[in-house]
Amino acid sequence: MLPTITKRTFRPFYMPIFFDDDFFTGLTAKTTSMPAVNIREDEKNYFLELAVPGIDRNNLKIDINEDVLTISSETKNESDETKEGYKRKEFSYSSFCRSFYIPENVTREKIEANYKEGILSVVLPKQEEEKNKISRQIKIS
């Protein structure tokens, strides 16, 4: 399986913090969320499936840097409305970034991705094992 790289918060002297992010969740307008991901494998491939509904395919980005595959998105929306005596300007911003270690047995040049109906599917093909690998005993003469 592909391990997920996660960000951990270091608190040397843990004490519940009154002004923690969870307290103000309803009051803040930040839009950050991690998409749900399914990771599975079969004999030939590893599969990643991320639930990213409402995100335009052009806003999704997949990068490979050494042994890390990173899937990210950044979306900015702005609206500007001027009518009889008032002006309204609104904007929103959302982003996510998920990273996964790539196993050694993956052929990086053949990794493929597909986006359909809000699901980003990434296929990481395993390297083909040598066809000549047969188990046998050799007689000594």
Residue 87 is assigned to a structural domain of this protein = yes
Residues in CB range of 27: below 8 A, 6 or more apart: none
Q: Which domain holds residue 121?
A: 36-125
Return per-residue pLDDT of the chain as tens, 141 residues.
Answer: 666 655 544 444 444 444 444 444 444 444 457 899 999 999 999 999 999 998 999 999 999 998 999 999 998 888 888 888 788 888 888 889 999 999 999 999 999 999 999 999 999 999 987 655 666 767 786
Instruction: Quote the pTM value.
Output: 0.64
Token couple for 113: 């991705």
**Which pLDDT does position 63 carry in this prediction?**
94
**Which pLDDT does position 65 carry in this prediction?**
92
> How many domains are there within the chain?
1
Residue 112 is assigned to a structural domain of this protein = yes
**Which pLDDT does position 13 carry in this prediction?**
40
Residue 29 is assigned to a structural domain of this protein = no
Looking at residue 68, which CATH number applies to its domain?
2.60.40.790
Token couple for 23: 């307290």
**Which pLDDT does position 15 carry in this prediction?**
42
**Which pLDDT does position 85 carry in this prediction?**
79
Residue 77 is assigned to a structural domain of this protein = yes
Question: Rounded to an integer, what distance in angstroms lies between the CA atom of residue 39 and that of residue 6?
Answer: 15
Sign of the CA dihedral with 43 first, then 48, 51, and 52 last: negative
Paired residues of 41 in beta bridges: 46
Token couple for 45: 């491939």
Which among 47, 61, 58 has a CA at the least distance from the CA of 96? 61
At 85, the amino acid letter reads G
